[in-house]
Amino acid sequence: MKHLEQYQNIYFLGIGGIGMSALARYFHAQGKNVSGYDRTETVLTQLLVREGMSIHYVDTISEIQEQIDLIIYTPAIPKDNQEFQYLEKSGIPMIKRSAALGLISQGSKAICIAGTHGKTTTSTWTTHVLKTGKVDVSAFLGGISVDYGSNNIIGSSEIVVIEADEYDRSFLQLSPWMASVSSMDPDHLDIYGDDSSMKEGFKKFIHLIQANGYLIIKKDLLDHLSDSDIKALKDKNVQIIDFGFDDATIQISNVSIKNGKFVFDYSGLGHEISGIVSNMPGKHNIENACVAITCGLICGIEVEDIKVAISNFKGIQRRFEHIVETSSSIYIDDYAHHPSELQAAIEAARMLYPHKKLTGIFQPHLYSRTRDFADGFAEVLSQLDEVILMDIYPARELPIDGVSSEIIFDKIANENKLLVTKDQLMTILDHKRFDVLLTLGAGDIDTFVPKIKKYLESIG
C-alpha cells in the first residue's frame, strides 16, 4: 500500500462518526479531496460540509464520487450496505479507520490513550497540556474539544495524541511511543465474547509500545500483567509508570473541593506539584488529569504551564457538560453509556451538589450492552433520587428477543422511576421541576439537549 500522503481522493464510509470525522478533517486539512456517506445528517456532518467536504445520506452507488483513490470505512457500517458491497469489489484500496490511524502513528511519536472509560477526556486534556506548553501537537480525539472546537488538531511536531479505541480491537493497529491505560472494565462483549478476552486485547495493545517508550497505567491494573508481560516490556526498555491514590509511582493526594472546583497534589517523576486546580469534577477526572500531567512532564512541559492547562481546561462536549445553571436548576449532559461511566457521573454530581435532588434521564445504548449489563445499570441508576429511563438506542444493532429497557427498569430499586419513549419525554418533563438534572447516554439523547435547555431557561 502507498503512503497515505500519496492518495488525493479519499472516500469515507460512515464519515459522521466521531473518529471518522477526525480523520476526514485531517486529510481535508492536507488538501485532499474528501467525500463520504453517512446514514443520518447531524450537526457534525453539517460542519464537515461547511468545511468543504461532500457528504450524502442515501445508501446508493450513484452518489459515490467518480474519482476515488482510497476508501476508509468504519466497522459500524453493516456488511449489507450497498456502497460497502460495491466498493469492496471495486479494486480501490480499502482500509478500516483503525488502519489509517495506525499508519499515521507509525510515522509519529504517538501518545495513545486507552481505557474503557475516560480516554476522550484524557486524550483531549493531554493535548491541551502539550499545546499550553508550546508543543505543536496533532490529535485525533473521540469528542469535540470545547477549547479547540474540533475533534482533530493539526500540528507540525512529530508528537500526535490518539484516542486508542478498544472497539473492534482497533487499538491493535497503533504503534505507541507512549501509552496509557486507565480502565479495563468489561465492555464490547459483542466483539470480545467475555471479560478475559477483552483484557487480553488490552495486554496486546500494551505490548505494541515501541522500544524506549512509556506505559502509564492505573496501579490496580498492573495485576493483569504477568511477570512475563513485565519482562517483555522491560526488555524493550519500556518505562512502566503506575498511578493512583495509594502507594504508586505517581501519587495523587490531598483531594478537596474549593469554590466548586477540585484541588489535588501530584507527586512523581521527580516533581512535587501541590494545589492543582481542576474544573472537571469527580475522582475519575483527577485520574484523567494525572495521566495528562505525566505525559506533559515526559514531554518536558514546565510545571507552571501544566498547572495552567489543568485549571483552564474547558472539557469536551457531552462529558459532564454544564448546559444550564439558573437560580433554581442545574442541567448537565454526559455521554455515559456503561455502568462505570454512569457511576462516575452520578458520583461527581453528588460531590458537587451534596444537598440537591438528582434526576437522571438515561437512554441505554445497544441491545447487547443492555443485555450484558442490565444488573449494573439498574444498581447505579438506583442511586439517583429520580430516574427517567428511555427506550434503547440501537445504533448498529438489530433487536434482540427479550431485550428492552424494561429489563433495567424492573430491577431499579428506587420507586421514583418512569419508563418513557422519545415521543413522551418532553411532555413528561413539562410537568416537572429539577434541582439537578442529568441526561445520560451515547445515542441520540443529545438531540433533546437544546429542547431541555430552552424549557429550563423558560421556567427560570
Tell me the per-residue pLDDT of 47-65, one tens digit each, with 9 for 90 and over.
999 999 999 999 999 999 8
153: Cβ contacts below 8 Å, ≥ 6 apart? 127, 131, 137, 138, 139, 141, 145
| Whole-angstrom distance, CA of residue 111 vs CA of residue 177 | 6
Range in 30-34, 47-51, 195-199, 207-211 the model is least confident about: 195-199
Q: Are 234 and 115 in the same domain? A: yes
Q: Mean pLDDT over all residues of the chain?
A: 93
C-alpha dist (Å) from residue 7 to 27, 86, 168, 326? 10, 20, 25, 51
Q: Are 236 and 376 in the same domain? A: no
| Whole-angstrom distance, CA of residue 251 vs CA of residue 246 | 7
Let me know if residue 208 belongs to a domain. Answer: yes
Domain boundary among 69, 96, 123: 96
Let me know if residue 173 belongs to a domain. Answer: yes
The CATH code of the domain that includes 127 is 3.40.1190.10
Give the helix ranges, DSSP H, for 34-90. 43-50, 82-88
Q: Are 73 and 187 in the same domain? A: no
299 three-state secondary structure:
coil
Q: Are 230 and 160 in the same domain? A: yes
Domain count for the chain: 3
Is the distance from CB of 122 to CB of 113 less than 8 angstroms? yes
Tell me the per-residue pLDDT of 301-343, one tens digit each, with 9 for 90 and over.
999 999 999 999 999 988 889 999 988 899 999 999 999 889 9
Q: What mean pLDDT comes out for the span 16-21?
A: 91
Q: Which domain holds residue 330?
A: 321-458
Let me know if residue 36 belongs to a domain. Answer: yes
Q: What mean pLDDT comes out for the span 156-165?
A: 95
The CATH code of the domain that includes 452 is 3.90.190.20
Q: Are 83 and 115 in the same domain? A: no
Tell me the per-residue pLDDT of 265-274, one tens digit each, with 9 for 90 and over.
999 999 999 9
Let me know if residue 102 belongs to a domain. Answer: no
Q: What mean pLDDT comes out for the span 36-52?
A: 92
Let me know if residue 130 belongs to a domain. Answer: yes
Let me know if residue 273 belongs to a domain. Answer: yes
Is the distance from CB of 437 to CB of 388 less than 8 angstroms? no
- For the chain, the distance separating the N- and C-terminal CA atoms, rounded to the nearest angstrom, is 59
| Whole-angstrom distance, CA of residue 118 vs CA of residue 311 | 18
Question: 245 pLDDT band (50/70/90 cuts)?
Answer: very high
Which cell goes with 426?
418532553
Which pLDDT value is given to residue 125? Answer: 98
> What is the model's pTM?
0.82
Q: Are 430 and 382 in the same domain? A: yes
Tell me the per-residue pLDDT of 124-157, one tens digit each, with 9 for 90 and over.
999 999 999 999 999 999 899 999 999 999 999 9
Q: Are 250 and 118 in the same domain? A: yes
Q: Are 354 and 301 in the same domain? A: no
Q: Are 161 and 224 in the same domain? A: yes
Is residue 1 predicted with pLDDT exceeding 60? no
Task: For residue 401, give the H/E element and its range.
Answer: none
Let me know if residue 390 belongs to a domain. Answer: yes
To the nearest 10°, report the CA torsion of 222, 223, 229, 230: 50
Domain boundary among 71, 96, 121: 96
Q: What mean pLDDT comes out for the span 169-175?
A: 92
Q: Are 146 and 29 in the same domain? A: no
Q: Which residues are catalytic?
A: 119-120, 163
Question: 81 pLDDT band (50/70/90 cuts)?
Answer: very high
Q: Are 92 and 212 in the same domain? A: no
Q: What mean pLDDT comes out for the span 229-243?
A: 97
DSSP codes, 344-393: HHHHHHHHHSTTS-EEEEE--B-HHHHHHHHHHHHHHHTTSSEEEEEPPB
The CATH code of the domain that includes 54 is 3.40.50.720
Domain boundary among 65, 96, 127: 96
Let me know if residue 101 belongs to a domain. Answer: no
Q: What mean pLDDT comes out for the span 247-274?
A: 94
Is residue 230 predicted with pLDDT exceeding 60? yes
Is the distance from CB of 241 to CB of 222 less than 8 angstroms? no
Q: Are 141 and 248 in the same domain? A: yes
